[in-house]
Amino acid sequence: MCGRLSQYRGIHDFVDALSMPDALTNDVGDQPLAHYNVAPSTSVAVFTPGYARWLRWGWRPHWAQDRAPPINARLEKVAHSPFYRAIWGQRLLVPIDGWFEWVDEGEAKKQPYYIHRRDGLPTFCAGIGQWRGAEDDGFVIITADSVGGMVDIHDRRPVALAPELARAWLNPDADKTQAEQMLLNLGEPAEAFHWYRVDKAVGNVRNQGAALLRPIEPMS
């Protein structure tokens, strides 16, 4: 996952798709988010237990100040990595409309692709993070190996959870072993997603707007 996503619906649209049984404290607002080209180190709307809140994309432990904050954590290592030990039990969801990947197709600049669910519903990405109101708060998205045709776009993909599992992932009563098994065995398959070429303007993080999501050739 190269590190660019879209999050343009309103938070209530994401809540409705998630079918949350209990009300959330909404610190994000009621208007459409209208973020079509979200870059790392910026604030992203996330769900933590009981809350919809803004949180910076990227996190590192206090003892790793000599490196840039990672934005993704590998599924294969995250549950047992000393790097993420402090936040492994602090689960969150990143509700997105889709994400971008760049593919080397032999041109001077890599070709961006937009990836989203085939059924048009939001994608709920599994994440972990810290939200204690401190300067070093942030989150990472958990990624897994790509499978099927998605391998041709990128070798990694976010772990996406169907609504029922997404709610279980967000449940603070789920223990760490249960959480790891959700990631290992129950993520959404590649067949649930569709991808297509989009304009290279998305490469500039200052560019925004729905035009960035339009295909530049007929969808396959």
Query: Which position among 101, 125, 135, 180 bears the catalytic label?
Result: 101
What's the chain's Rg over C-alpha atoms?
A: 17
Is 7 within 8 Å of 45 (Cβ atoms)? yes
Active site residue 101: yes
Count of beta carbons in the 10 Å neighbourhood of residue 185: 7
Please, what is the Cα angle at 11 between 10 and 17, to 5 degrees? Answer: 100
Please, what is the Cα angle at 119 between 113 and 120, to 5 degrees? Answer: 65
Count CA atoms closer than 13 A to 5's CA, side-chain side.
28
By annotation, the residues acting in catalysis are 2, 101
